[in-house]
Amino acid sequence: MNKTLIIIGVIVIAIILIRQFGFKSTSQNLNSKIRPSDAQKPTKPIKNDKLILVKNVKLDYLKQAIEQFCNIYNQEAFIALPRLILLDNKFVITFPYNIDFERYCYFINYLENAHELCLQPDYKPDVKAWYTARLGDSWMKDDLVNKKVMIFIPDWDEEHDNVYLTTQDNLGYKMGFAVGEASQKLDRPAKRFEENPIDINNLTDKETIDFE
């Protein structure tokens, strides 16, 4: 009897969570063009150093992944307004109006695991991202604050719901998206820290594509 009640309770909790948070990656959301009114769209850039470098991917694939993310997250508010900068054999993504750290991590993960695209045999993007950790960011720890960090997903990861982080002094963290899984300090970093090789000031003459 008690076992039955426990099972029923788990099912009820699951239904409540689904109703509250929904499933973001449904086909309807992936293709949604619903957006808030233009009056809610930011117009004043916010200085930040978030930057993503993407290699080994077709432009059309990358545009599709970015559009899907925006379709999922920008229906009620402009959460992500990424700018894609086209270089000769790689791509840079910045966020002129900033993006919170949690969604930044989601975005990085989505580029690697984009719905439908990840099933394509030739969709294997090489993604690395950088920013300076700030007090008040989600999942932040004292030994991360005010340090440059590199964010990535190692090739051997099979969980698909996290990113990894290495600080400038080579402290390693796994940032899991499941409840209770965020900010897991590692005995050693999954990769050693690499400096951001891109100077955004040198890209002003490059072709760009803005997404919303």
Tens digits of per-residue pLDDT, 163-187?
999 999 999 999 999 887 888 999 9
Q: In sequence order, what DSSP letters do the residues of 85-141 get, joined into one string? A: EE-SS-EEEE-TT---HHHHHHHHHHHHS-TTGGGSTT---EEEEEEE--TTSTT--
pTM of the model: 0.86
* Residue among 116, 117, 131, 130 at smallest CA distance from 57: 117
Lowest mean pLDDT among 22-31, 99-108, 158-167: 22-31
* Residue among 121, 59, 116 at smallest CA distance from 86: 59
* Per-residue model confidence as pLDDT tens digits over 16-44: 333 333 444 566 688 888 999 999 999 99
Give the strand order in the sheet containing 184-185: 184-185, 172-176, 162-167, 148-152, 126-132, 51-55, 91-94, 83-86, 208-210
Q: Where along the chain do its domains lie? A: 45-210
- 3-class state of residue 14 by DSSP: helix
